Each structure stands twice: as structure tokens, then as C-alpha cells.
Amino acid sequence: MLTGLRIENLKSVQDSGRLRLRPLTILMGPNSSGKSTLLDAILLAKQTVDSKDPRNPVVMYGDYVKLGSFPEVVFRNEKARTLALEFEFSPFDVRRAASVESATVRAEFSYNRKSLQTYATRVTYTLPPTDFRIEKTSPTPHKASVEILDKDESIFRSEGHPGKFYDLPRSPRRVARWRAGSDLQLFAPWQFESQLKGVSYIGPLRTAPQRTYLAGGEMPQGVGLQGEMTLSALWASRWSKPLRQRVYKRTSDWLARFGIAATLELRRIGGSYFTCLIADPSLGVKANFADVGFGSSQLLPAIVQTLLAPAGTTIVMEQPEIHLHPAAQAVLGDFFVEQSLEGKQFIVETHSEHMVSRALTRVARRDITPDHLGILYCSRTPEGTKVERVDVDSYGRFGEGLPRGFFEQDYLEARAQMEALAGGRESARE
């Protein structure tokens, strides 16, 4: 699980500070306040891990995020700045080398104005509670050296091509005073890579449903970045004994809880084609999924992707509540809470106060602890994005010192309404 994140000089974020990531982490704030930048940092690392080019240090423009060049994304477009990403993750086990409680990798990126390349000038792994530290330095985009230290004493050195930013090059001429040096050099980046491979992402707008679908012969690994493979994944799960109950049946159950459908049915309509029918929760009449409200089509990919994901997966999601009724948004809070209790991690960007309120209710009911839920609020300032943690107590109440603007709109609207009513009464008396 990803347990911590820090961003420096990426887009509108000059320094996010160290952010703790919980099993259910919710990002809130006004539009263009920097929420998406926090997600971009994770997705930037994800698409670098997934890249088939082992020599590209960081993929700035890929399937998950299209950030452009370094001068375009560095804070205030100041090319001399150092862009830094820091990830903390657990559990971490380097087997023969050592067992540690967590690990942190920090990567600092610079810009080569001559070659127009972005490359990692320094990467540091720290492995508490051990005294091991791994440092990779790259004076140029094509050369790197690695040093492993134990209590600041060097025990291992190697050189080679830098590779991806988290990689640790290993050269044939290695000087290791202890076997752990070699093991750490191998397993530290492998553990980080495994964490990022376990990240799945669903974008803010999902594709509209079709009236018919082609049944393929393979099981999709996910629903796609825009949910385009959702029905294909459902169809395949229907015929898979291990997934029939976990995905197909539970998707239907959750649609009922959301008040969208009494049942869900995938029906073959000839050849390799099928259609999706849902029964109206009130009338029981079946209708094609393409004829149901747009919010339902935006929600279904989030449900299916989550149910497909095994325990240990980190699911990054933007605006899962889009086009949903407030009552359904509240159930979305139940969905994330209950799925996070099955060992899945959620990092969700949302504007839904109803979803957050339901998560707070689950804290008050003792279904989850305050440490299970993390709320981060982003706001715009002249110094860049400010990220603040919103504390929650064991009764599901917010702590003191709430960020300005957080959950204030209802109060402001109610106050404006009362003032308008009072003004109307005064006018009537006159």
C-alpha cells in the first residue's frame, strides 16, 4: 500500500509537504486547486513503471497523464528548479537482505537544456527501521552510480546506465562488503515497481454505454482508463467460476443498493454479441443499459474495476460521483468504506460532500477507525497549492482548524437565504 506522498515543484504544487495516504484517502477542494496534481504524481510513476522502454527515466507523456515537457510542468515554469517526487510504501520485504516496516523512495529530476531531457539527478531509498540507505546519482542522463550505506558507511558501489528513475544499475565490477548490498540493490526497486504495478486508474469521464457488445474470448485485466472495457469484463466474469460471485453477482447487488437496478443481466443476442439489461428497481421492467440515466453508466466502471481488483491494489479515481443523485453519492461512501475493509486502497478525488459525510458516519458507527480515513483539502494561494489534512475524531466529527472553504458552502447558502428572507419581510412591512 502507498502510505505517503510528497511533491515538490510539480505544476501548481511548490511543496505539498509529507502527506499520509490511508486505506481510504479523499481529495477535496475547489476546481483548479491542485487536487489532480497529487494524482498526476502517482500516475506519472505508474506509466514510467509500465513503460517498455527501460532507458527512459520518466515518462512525462503517456497513457495515464499527458504532462508535456519539463518547462511546462515545473512550478512557475522555472527550468532551473528541481522537481521531486517522494513515495512511501509498505509492506516491504527484501527477503535475504532484511525485513523493514516501510520504505521511501525520493527522486529528484532536472532538465538538460541541451538534449531537452528530463532525468533523475538523485534517487534515495530509505528503509526504516534498518540503517540502510541507497543513493543513486546521475551527473548526466546517460550515467549513474549507486552507493549503499549502512549507518552512513559505504558497503556497496556500482555504476551503469540510469534506466528508469527508480532502477538501480548493477555493473559486472561490483564491490560488496556484505551480501545485503547486492540484495537491497535488487529488491528495493522491485518492491517499488510491484507497488506501482498494483495501481489502477479510472478517469473523470467514462465512455457512454452501447446497445450491443462483442464478447471476446479473454478476461480484461481492468475496465480501461475510460471504462471502455467494463461490459467485456462483466461478460468474462460471468463465465469465470472464481469471478462470478465476486464480480458479476456483487455488481448486481451494488446496483440495487445504489437504487439503480433491481437486477443486472447480460444476454446473448446472436453470434458473439450480447446486450446488458437492468430491471427498474420500482417497476421491475427490464431496459437496455444504454437507456438508463447517464450517471449509471459513469458509476458502473468504478464498481466493476473495484470488484475486479485483488486485495493490495491501489485504486486511483476521479469524480466517481459524477451525474449521481445525492442519495447515490452517499451510498458511494459505503462502497468505498466496505471495499477498503477488504484490503484495497482508494485515492479518490471528489466534490461530493454526501460521499464524505457517509464515510464520517461509518467512522461514528465504529465500522472504520479515524486512521482508516484520510481527507486532504487543496486550496489556491499566491505561493501555489496548499494541501491541508482534515482531522477526524472517533465520533466522525471534524477536528478544529478546518481549512477555509471546507464544507462552508451549505452554511453560506443557508445564511444568504435567511438574510434574503429577513429582507423580504422588511420590504413587506414597508
pTM of the model: 0.90
Is-contact 102 39, C-beta < 8 A? no
User: Is a pLDDT exceeding 70 seen at residue 175?
Assistant: no
DSSP per residue, 116-167: TEEEEEEEEEE-TTS-EEEEEEEEETTEEEEEEEETTEEEEEEEE---STT-
State residue 178's pLDDT score: 43
pLDDT above 90 coverage of the chain, percent? 67
Collapse the DSSP code of 380 into the 3-class scheme (helix H, G, I; strand E, B; otherwise coil) and give the result: strand
**Sequence-distant (≥ 6) Cβ neighbours of residue 283 within 8 angstroms:** none
Task: Give the closest residue to 387 by CA, choosing from 44, 39, 71, 103.
Answer: 39
User: Is a pLDDT exceeding 50 seen at residue 177?
Assistant: no
The ranges assigned to domains in the chain are 2-198, 200-368
Is-contact 220 228, C-beta < 8 A? no
Mean pLDDT of 375-383: 94
Q: Which three cell numbers stand for residue 308?
A: 475486479
The tens digit of pLDDT for each residue in 313-366 reads 999 999 999 999 999 999 999 999 999 999 999 999 999 999 999 999 999 999
Which pLDDT band holds residue 101 (cuts at 50, 70, 90)?
A: confident
Tell me which DSSP letter residue 5 carries. Answer: E
Parallel, antiparallel or unpaired: strands 132-140 and 143-150? antiparallel
Ramachandran angles phi, psi of 222, nearest 5°: -165, -175
| 60-64, 142-146, 421-425, range with the lowest pLDDT | 421-425
Is-contact 6 16, C-beta < 8 A? yes
Ramachandran angles phi, psi of 209, nearest 5°: -70, 155
The neighbouring-strand residues paired with 145 are: 137, 159
Neighbours of 426 (CB within 10 A): 9
Q: Which CATH class is domain 200-368?
A: alpha beta
Is-contact 296 260, C-beta < 8 A? yes
Q: Give the Å distances, CA to CA, from 149 to 85, 132, 153, 179, 193.
A: 22, 6, 5, 13, 22
Question: What is the C-alpha separation between 98 and 284, in angstroms, rounded?
Answer: 59
